[in-house]
């Protein structure tokens, strides 16, 4: 066989005015973001064609939330900007952290794109552009009022909207680059073998950091009544990214103080540094990460041991009593396995739960030492009550949703036992540990007044009722729905509604506690919850399979 190196091959097809690969990929990833990656139930004509259409409800909610910026209209440009950037950082951080895992490392994508003539850098940039683009929509919706309100602050000028657009864009870039950098560093430091596990941890940490960052700054602003300034005494402000970007606003369209200029310089330099590190220095690691997803490796022994432990656990009392029904037990084991092993499920579930759990911690710590405390305790329990509902909602979605068709092939009249199995796994492995953690935290913070721990009870009483809601009308079958439905804005809105109801109930419980009506309030809640629980169980009992369409 003769050899020539390289072999001259005639042009495969005439090249002409073809679009650049970056443009093609950007269009592809934006379309995939809008439509989702699998299409059961998605009609071509009904598929969203723009970010605005896709996120309409969410953007409206963000826009309404942005009205709170008006509170700061009598304060300085810097104070208002710190608030706007603090909240934007939280929203963007949560969005990017929850989307980045699936966007950056999609398993199915490897078979489609990795053998095409595109570089990892082109792939990475295209994905980043889409993330930044959607981030800017979210930031734009939230800052819509702020863009103009900033002009009417005492030291504001007509330049504020322009300055704020610039600083918000920089912040979106900073936020996206930070998340990508976190993944790249995990790859580099801990190795690609641990990528799957690390992705979840990285995402949880980023989500918590975003919520903490977003929550701390506005609280500091309220506590200091807007008189916050970067100086030698308050050097710590220089560590807060929202303050950097607020410094930019202040330098261009505010008081133009020297300290603001320093903060702005830190912001610009930090953004440039993070961008360079994430997309330049460490871009090669991205290809390694993508290739890792295409590799098939045998399971480590420890995980097989984990399953044997679970098998033993469910065969012993009290779990064997709790899981007498074999279908419920099978569903329990399936859910438990996915909670530990499945990258896709873990990436959605834990980062989805983590930021929610930060809020009660902030409330608990914030009220520590105050004489009118108690709301944080009641609020923490209400939040834990939401965990099974949120988790069950998230666990319905999986990249392997088609595999759930196997449930319909079995001689089961309906999905209810599968829902109960999954629900019990969530109660045991997620809710119970959180309950212990919050209970301990509440006890530690209120050791001088242990009676206040009674305020945990209203949330606990509501918990079983909440946990049944996702299984109503034959829904709630674990891992049975395509993942793009998980991003439904309606679901997010209903979760927010339930969260507000929980806050209201916590408030009522605290009022009852402080006014001596708590015993009666609790009795009433127990009765209502018991009736609701029985009614929900009965309505679920004979639920048929929902239509596959």
Q: Which of residues 180-199 bind another protein (CB under 8 A)?
A: 193
Tell me: does residue 1 bind another protein (CB under 8 A). yes
Tell me: does residue 301 bind another protein (CB under 8 A). no
CB nearer another protein, residue 33 or residue 479: 33
Binder of another protein out of 53, 116, 256, 368 (CB under 8 A):
116
DSSP result, 454-473: GGGHHHHHHHHHHHHGGGGG
d(CA 118, CA 280): 17
Binder of another protein out of 5, 302, 410, 515 (CB under 8 A):
5
Site string for another protein, 245-284 (x = CB under 8 A): ----------------------------------------
CB nearer another protein, residue 25 or residue 377: 25
CB nearer another protein, residue 106 or residue 467: 106
DSSP result, 147-194: HHHGGGSTT--TTHHHHHHHHHHHHHHHHHHHHHHHHHHHHHHH-GGG
d(CA 296, CA 107): 11
Binder of another protein out of 13, 316, 409, 548 (CB under 8 A):
13
d(CA 382, CA 530): 17
Tell me: does residue 22 bind another protein (CB under 8 A). no
CA 229 to chain centre: 31
Binder of another protein out of 60, 108, 276, 496 (CB under 8 A):
108
CB nearer another protein, residue 120 or residue 238: 120
CB nearer another protein, residue 117 or residue 317: 117
Tell me: does residue 27 bind another protein (CB under 8 A). yes
Tell me: does residue 46 bind another protein (CB under 8 A). no
Say which DSSP state 281 is in. I
Q: Give, in degrees to the nearest 5, the angle at Cα 170 between 147 and 277.
A: 170
Binder of another protein out of 2, 302, 410, 515 (CB under 8 A):
2
Burial of residue 503, with CB atoms counted within 10 A of its CB: 0-12 exposed, 13-18 middle, 19 or more buried: middle
Binder of another protein out of 18, 60, 403, 535 (CB under 8 A):
18
Say which DSSP state 8 is in. P
d(CA 489, CA 58): 6
Sign of CA dihedral 81, 178, 383, 61: positive
Q: Strand (E) positions, 290-431?
A: none
CB 88 → another protein: shortest distance, Å? 29
Residue-level length of the chain: 549
Binder of another protein out of 52, 154, 280, 294 (CB under 8 A):
294
Q: Which of residues 447-486 bind another protein (CB under 8 A)?
A: 484
- Cis preceding linkage at 318, omega within 30: yes
Tell me: does residue 16 bind another protein (CB under 8 A). yes
CB nearer another protein, residue 19 or residue 57: 19
Segment contacting another protein by CB under 8 A, of 14-22, 93-101, 162-170, 278-286: 14-22
Tell me: does residue 289 bind another protein (CB under 8 A). no
Q: 179 phi and psi, to 5 degrees?
A: -65, -45
CB nearer another protein, residue 297 or residue 515: 297
Specify which residues 481 forms β-bridges with: 397
Give the Å distances, CA to CA, from 67 to 75, 135, 193: 15, 19, 46
- Pick from 221, 220, 266, 219: nearest CA to 76: 221
Binder of another protein out of 298, 302, 410, 515 (CB under 8 A):
298
CA 458 to chain centre: 26
Which conformational region is residue 96 in: left (phi greater than 0), alpha (psi within -120 to 50 degrees), or beta?
A: alpha
Tell me: does residue 400 bind another protein (CB under 8 A). no
Binder of another protein out of 110, 151, 185, 337 (CB under 8 A):
110
Binder of another protein out of 114, 255, 337, 536 (CB under 8 A):
114
Tell me: does residue 498 bind another protein (CB under 8 A). no
Binder of another protein out of 32, 165, 166, 319 (CB under 8 A):
32
Which conformational region is residue 374 in: left (phi greater than 0), alpha (psi within -120 to 50 degrees), or beta?
A: left
Segment contacting another protein by CB under 8 A, of 82-90, 109-117, 420-428, 464-472: 109-117
Tell me: does residue 21 bind another protein (CB under 8 A). yes
Segment contacting another protein by CB under 8 A, of 17-25, 277-285, 326-334, 440-448: 17-25
Binder of another protein out of 26, 30, 36, 379 (CB under 8 A):
36
Locus of tokens 């590799």: 295
CB 427 → another protein: shortest distance, Å? 34
Say which DSSP state 544 is in. P
Tell me: does residue 302 bind another protein (CB under 8 A). no
The upper half-sphere exposure of residue 220, i.e. CA atoms within 13 Å in the direction of its Cβ, equals 22
Give the Å distances, CA to CA, from 468 to 423, 465, 478: 8, 5, 13
Binder of another protein out of 239, 296, 301, 302 (CB under 8 A):
296
Tell me: does residue 318 bind another protein (CB under 8 A). no
Residues contributing to the site for another protein (CB under 8 A): 1-7, 9, 12-19, 21, 24-25, 27-28, 31-32, 35-40, 42, 44, 47, 108-119, 193, 288, 291, 294-298, 484
């Amino acid at each position: 066989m003769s050899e020539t190196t390289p072999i001259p091959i005639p042009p495969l097809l005439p090249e002409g005015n073809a679009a650049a690969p970056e443009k093609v990929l950007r269009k592809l990833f934006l379309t995939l973001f809008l439509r989702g990656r699998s299409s059961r139930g998605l009609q071509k004509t009904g598929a969203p064609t723009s970010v605005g259409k896709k996120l309409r409800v969410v953007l409206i909610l963000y826009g309404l939330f942005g009205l709170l910026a008006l509170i700061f209209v009598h304060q300085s440009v810097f104070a208002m900007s710190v608030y706007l950037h603090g909240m934007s950082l939280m929203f963007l951080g949560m969005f990017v952290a929850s989307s980045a895992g699936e966007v950056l490392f999609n398993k199915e994508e490897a078979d489609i794109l990795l053998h095409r003539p595109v570089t990892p850098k082109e792939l990475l940039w295209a994905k980043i552009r889409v993330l930044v683009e959607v981030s800017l929509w979210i930031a734009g919706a939230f800052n819509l009022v702020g863009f103009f309100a900033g002009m009417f602050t005492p030291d504001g000028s007509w330049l504020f909207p322009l300055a704020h657009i610039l600083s918000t864009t920089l912040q979106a870039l900073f936020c996206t680059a930070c998340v990508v950098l976190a993944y790249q560093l995990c790859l580099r430091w801990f190795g690609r073998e641990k990528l799957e596990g690390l992705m979840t941890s990285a995402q949880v940490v980023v989500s918590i950091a975003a919520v903490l960052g977003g929550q701390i700054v506005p609280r500091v602003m309220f506590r200091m009544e807007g008189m916050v300034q970067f100086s030698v005494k308050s050097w710590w402000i220089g560590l807060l990214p929202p303050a950097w970007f607020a410094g930019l606003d202040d330098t261009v369209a505010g008081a133009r103080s020297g300290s603001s200029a320093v903060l702005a310089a830190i912001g610009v330099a930090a953004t440039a540094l993070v961008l360079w590190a994430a997309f330049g220095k460490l871009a090669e690691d991205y290809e390694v990460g993508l290739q890792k997803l295409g590799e098939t490796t045998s399971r480590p022994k420890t995980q097989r041991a984990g399953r044997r432990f679970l098998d033993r656990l469910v065969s012993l009392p009290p779990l064997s009593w709790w899981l007498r029904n074999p279908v419920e037990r099978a569903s329990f084991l399936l859910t438990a396995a996915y909670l530990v092993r499945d990258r896709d499920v873990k990436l959605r579930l834990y980062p989805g739960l983590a930021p929610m759990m930060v809020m009660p911690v902030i409330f608990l710590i914030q009220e520590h030492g105050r004489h009118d405390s108690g709301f944080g305790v009641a609020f923490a329990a209400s939040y834990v009550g939401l965990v099974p509902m949120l988790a069950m909602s998230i666990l319905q979605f999986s990249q392997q949703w088609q595999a759930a068709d196997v449930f319909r092939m079995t001689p089961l009249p309906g999905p209810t036992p599968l829902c109960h199995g999954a629900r019990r796994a969530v109660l045991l492995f997620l809710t119970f540990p959180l309950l212990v953690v919050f209970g301990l935290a509440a006890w530690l913070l209120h050791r001088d007044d242990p009676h206040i721990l009674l305020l945990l009870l209203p949330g606990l009483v509501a918990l079983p009722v909440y946990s049944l809601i996702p299984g109503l009308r034959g829904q709630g079958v674990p891992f049975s729905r395509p993942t793009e439905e998980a991003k439904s804005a309606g679901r997010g809105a209903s979760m927010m509604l339930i969260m507000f109801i929980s806050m209201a109930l916590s408030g009522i419980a605290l009022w009852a506690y402080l006014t001596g009506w708590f015993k009666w309030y609790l009795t009433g809640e127990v009765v209502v919850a018991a009736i609701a629980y029985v009614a929900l169980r009965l309505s679920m009992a004979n639920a048929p399979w929902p239509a596959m369409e």
